[in-house]
């Protein structure tokens, strides 16, 4: 599999990344290198191998349904470029 | 142009176009907020209406390095829901990342379940208002995170974001495209809501956004294959769901009949204009780039865990309704009304038990009166006061006392209504009210005989007419005696004594 500049521009658009044409071209080259390695991996016969879903043994580490966190609005907003009245303030988004 | 809907030949719902009737095919994705104390992957609280960003942990705000840890109760709630909908519980499921960009989604992705949901296929039976029953298949239920909330109208230049909802657990309940009319869609959502409320897995509060639906609509000529569908996003009341379906189906019929094609797209319903409008078309539809969530292990369920979930389920609305019909001999209508809402059923059962105890009778003997009083007098009063059953000024045991006072003749029907009005206002017990305000029914023959004698003496002309054969005047005398007693006379006793006096 390989990607072209158009595909890279589309994925960048979906991820809200602004790429200059030359950056896009560079990204296409790099991604195609990576996809080349994936193609190499595809050569391995895996028809009889179960997919590995986790590298850890599966244990059921569930949380109890209790409130243990929150009430840290100040911390949550500390890195926000802009905040107002306890909210994050972002450029107006209307779909 | 289309005309409003009509009923097709086989009683199926159709929309009448210029080229004949069109059938609707509808599927619903209901997003139900899971009832839990803390969020799906963090220990922050889920309560509605808190100060902005006060119920947010660093996990919910997607600070770098934060890792999700699954809340076991949310899993149990999804499994309970699946069991209540007769669905398969998948012993192995998995979380996936759904990538999209929006200001109120700090992670840049939503943790959801795409390929392997926790609950598989099931079905529920729904009944429309006109009594038609139909089965709606459930395709799947998966667990996912809610996003934050954007507020666009507080500032002219900025959107404000509150992350309190971010990370709250949702169940997405996906139906099969089995729904054929707005009525069925309404009945399906109503039935789903009633089940979720009964088992306590979602509070069903549509105003607060605890339940909202994405509605998939397509139209076809009867018997034809499914047409291209459009999805109407985020509709938050049963009435709006029904209106959106009608409006969207009409739009599609008009396009198809004028030779056009339906574009598969996401639309929004505007209740003001009663129209749907395009939100985004398929071309720039989200490409979610799903992949398995690397921060979480697959979700494996043991038989023991599923058995515990099953054991924790209360009686479901359909079973309760059948029991009310069979064991309490209530009409299907009353049984349906009382079991549609879990709170109502709980109230009724306390009323019934109290009523039976006070009257020393088995529940079946007092059930119909109790059900009629509750659905008639009580619901009428609550409706007028715009109150929920949980805020009723009258308690079930006070209701039981009132019914007992009617049963033993202390209160006549009209007197009971008077006492009930006072109960609503003062919250006093009916026995105390009747005692203190002298509203008890008078069955004392001596007092009534005196009243009758006075009425007859005061109306010699009417008496003469009656004696000369005008039988209808009997009612007049009963009325006069009742009036003289201030409405408190026992009508049965008055009848009996009057007959004697006029004989």
B124 & B212 share domain = yes
Residues in chain A whose beta carbon is closer than 8 A to a beta carbon of chain B? 10-11, 14-16, 53-54, 56, 58-73, 75-77, 82, 84-95
Q: Mean pLDDT check: name the lowest of B132-146, B162-176, B233-247, B284-298.
A: B284-298
pLDDT at B285: 57
Residue B277 CA to residue B132 CA, distance in Å, equals 32
B107 & B188 share domain = yes
pLDDT at B386: 94
Q: Is B39 helix (H, G, I), strand (E, B) or coil?
A: coil
Residue B1 lies in a domain: no
pLDDT at B286: 65
Give yes or no for residue B189 having a pLDDT over 90. yes
B92 & B145 share domain = yes
B302 & B338 share domain = no
pLDDT at B281: 57
Interface probe for A, chosen from B50, B60, B160, B168 (most Cβ of A below 10 Å), is B160
Cross-chain CB nearest to A61 (options B45, B69, B99): B69
In this prediction, residues B468-489 reach a mean pLDDT of 84
In chain A, what residues touch B157 (CB-CB under 8 Å)? 91-92
pLDDT at B88: 98
Alpha helices in B212-294 (DSSP H): 238-257
Closest-CA distance of chain A to residue B158, Å: 4
Task: Tell me whether residue B480 is exposed, middle or buried, using C-beta atoms within 10 angstroms of its C-beta: 0 to 12, 13 to 18, 19 or more.
Answer: buried
Cross-chain CB nearest to A70 (options B44, B99, B108): B44
Cross-chain CB nearest to A54 (options B58, B151, B297): B297
In chain B, what residues touch A94 (CB-CB under 8 Å)? 152, 159
B406 & B458 share domain = no
Residue A18 CA to residue A91 CA, distance in Å, equals 17
Interface probe for A, chosen from B34, B45, B49, B53 (most Cβ of A below 10 Å), is B53
What is the residue range of B94's domain? 6-288+295-309
In chain A, what residues touch B36 (CB-CB under 8 Å)? 65
**Interchain CB contact of B153 with A (< 8 Å):** no
Cross-chain CB nearest to A69 (options B44, B158, B159): B44
B391 & B364 share domain = yes
B476 & B432 share domain = no
Nearest CA-CA partner of B418 in B371, B377, B380: B377
Per-residue model confidence as pLDDT tens digits over B270-323: 999 999 998 765 555 568 889 999 999 999 999 999 999 999 999 999 999 999
**A94 contacts B74? CB cut-off 8 A:** no
pLDDT at B7: 45
B211 & B355 share domain = no
What ipTM describes this predicted complex?
A: 0.84
Residue B467: CATH number of its domain: 1.10.10.410
In chain B, what residues touch A14 (CB-CB under 8 Å)? 99-101, 286-287, 289
**A84 contacts B73? CB cut-off 8 A:** no
B393 & B329 share domain = yes
Cross-chain CB nearest to B160 (options A11, A65, A87): A87
Residue B140 CA to residue B390 CA, distance in Å, equals 33
Main-chain dihedrals φ then ψ at residue B53, nearest 5 degrees: 60, 20
**B286 contacts A14? CB cut-off 8 A:** yes
Specify whether the CB–CB gap between B126 and B136 falls below 8 A: yes
pLDDT at B9: 41
**B61 contacts A85? CB cut-off 8 A:** no
Specify whether the CB–CB gap between B169 and B28 falls below 8 A: no
Per-residue model confidence as pLDDT tens digits over B17-69: 999 999 999 999 999 999 999 999 999 999 999 999 999 999 999 999 999 99
Q: How many structural domains are present in chain B?
A: 3
Cross-chain CB nearest to A65 (options B71, B279, B300): B71
Residue B392 lies in a domain: yes
Per-residue model confidence as pLDDT tens digits over B347-400: 999 999 999 999 999 999 999 999 999 999 999 999 999 999 999 999 999 999
Interface probe for A, chosen from B297, B299, B304 (most Cβ of A below 10 Å), is B297
Q: How many helices (H) and strands (E) does chain B have?
A: 16, 17
In chain A, what residues touch B55 (CB-CB under 8 Å)? 70-71
Per-residue model confidence as pLDDT tens digits over B29-43: 999 999 999 999 999
pLDDT < 70 regions, chain A = 95
In chain B, what residues touch A84 (CB-CB under 8 Å)? 155, 158, 160
B58 & B130 share domain = yes
pLDDT at B37: 98
**A69 contacts B42? CB cut-off 8 A:** yes
Residue B95 CA to residue B142 CA, distance in Å, equals 9
B364 & B283 share domain = no
Beta bridge partners of B231: B216, B266
Question: Residue B135 contacts by C-beta under 8 Å, 6 or more apart in sequence?
Answer: B123, B124, B125, B126, B178
B206 token code pair: 């549509």
**B53 contacts A88? CB cut-off 8 A:** yes
Cross-chain CB nearest to B57 (options A65, A69, A88): A69
**A90 contacts B54? CB cut-off 8 A:** no
Alpha helices in B363-471 (DSSP H): 363-373, 379-385, 396-407, 413-426, 430-436, 445-458, 460-467
B350 & B265 share domain = no
Q: Is B22 helix (H, G, I), strand (E, B) or coil?
A: strand
How far, rounded to the nearest angstrom, does the alpha carbon of residue B127 sit from its chain's CA centroid? 13
Query: What CATH number does the domain located at A1-44 have?
Result: 1.10.20.60
Question: Residue B104 contacts by C-beta under 8 Å, 6 or more apart in sequence?
Answer: B147, B148, B149, B150, B161, B162, B163, B166
Looking at B309, B343, B359, the residue that finishes a domain is: B309
Task: Report B:78-137 residues touching A (Cβ under 8 A).
Answer: 94, 99-103, 108
**How do the domains of chain A map onto residue ranges?**
1-44
């Amino acid at each position: 599999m390989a990607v072209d500049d158009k595909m890279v521009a589309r994925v960048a658009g979906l991820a809200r990344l602004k790429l200059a044409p030359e950056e896009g071209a560079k990204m296409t080259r790099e991604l195609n290198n990576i996809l080349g390695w994936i193609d190499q991996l595809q050569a391995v016969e895996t028809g009889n191998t179960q997919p590995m879903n986790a590298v850890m043994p599966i244990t059921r580490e569930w949380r109890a349904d209790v409130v243990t966190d929150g009430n840290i609005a100040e911390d949550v907003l500390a890195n926000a470029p802009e905040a107002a009245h306890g909210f994050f303030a972002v450029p107006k988004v209307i779909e | 142009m289309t005309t409003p809907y009509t009923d097709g030949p086989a009683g199926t719902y159709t929309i009448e176009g210029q080229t004949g009737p069109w059938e609707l095919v509808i599927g619903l994705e209901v997003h139900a907020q899971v009832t839990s104390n803390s969020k799906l992957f963090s220990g922050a609280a889920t309560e509605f209406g808190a100060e902005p960003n006060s119920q947010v942990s660093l996990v919910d705000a997607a600070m770098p390095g934060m890792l999700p840890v699954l809340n076991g109760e949310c899993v149990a709630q999804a499994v309970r829901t699946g069991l209540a909908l007769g669905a398969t519980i998948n012993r192995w499921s998995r979380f996936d990342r759904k990538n999209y960009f929006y200001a109120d989604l700090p992670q840049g992705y939503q943790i959801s379940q795409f390929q392997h949901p926790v609950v598989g296929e099931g079905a529920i039976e729904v009944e429309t208002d006109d009594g038609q029953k139909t089965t709606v298949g459930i395709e799947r239920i998966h667990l996912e995170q809610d996003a934050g909330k954007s507020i666009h109208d507080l500032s002219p230049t900025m959107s404000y974001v509150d992350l309190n909802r971010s990370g709250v657990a949702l169940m997405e309940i996906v139906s099969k495209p089995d729904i054929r009319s707005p009525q069925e869609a309404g009945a399906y959502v109503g039935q789903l809501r009633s089940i979720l409320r009964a088992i306590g897995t979602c509070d069903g509060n549509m105003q607060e956004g605890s339940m909202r639906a994405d509605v998939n609509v397509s139209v076809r000529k009867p018997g034809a294959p499914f047409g291209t569908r459009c999805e109407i996003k985020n509709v938050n009341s049963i009435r709006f769901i029904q209106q959106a379906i009608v409006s969207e189906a009409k739009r599609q019929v008009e396009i198809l009949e004028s030779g056009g094609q339906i574009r598969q797209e996401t639309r929004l319903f505007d209740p003001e204009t009663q129209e749907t409008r395009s939100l985004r078309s398929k071309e720039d539809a989200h490409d979610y780039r799903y992949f398995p969530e690397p921060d979480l292990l697959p979700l494996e369920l043991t038989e023991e865990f599923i058995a515990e979930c099953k054991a924790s389920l209360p009686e479901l609305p359909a079973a309760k309704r059948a029991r009310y019909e069979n064991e309490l001999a209530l009409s299907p209508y009353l049984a349906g009304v009382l079991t549609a809402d879990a709170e109502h059923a709980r109230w009724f059962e306390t009323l019934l038990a109290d009523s039976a105890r006070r009257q020393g009778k088995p529940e079946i003997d007092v059930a119909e009166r109790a059900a009629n009083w509750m659905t008639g007098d009580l619901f009428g009063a609550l409706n007028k006061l715009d109150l929920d059953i949980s805020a009723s000024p009258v308690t079930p045991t006070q209701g039981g006392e009132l019914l007992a006072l009617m049963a033993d003749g202390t209160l006549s029907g009209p007197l009971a209504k008077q006492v009930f009005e006072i109960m609503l206002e003062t919250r006093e017990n009916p026995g105390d009210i009747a005692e203190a305000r002298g509203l008890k029914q008078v069955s004392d023959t001596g007092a009534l005989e005196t009243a009758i004698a006075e009425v007859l003496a005061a109306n010699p002309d009417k008496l003469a007419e009656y004696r000369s054969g005008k039988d209808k005047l009997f009612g007049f005398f009963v009325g006069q005696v009742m009036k003289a007693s201030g409405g408190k006379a026992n009508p049965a006793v008055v009848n009996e004594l009057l007959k004697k006096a006029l004989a």
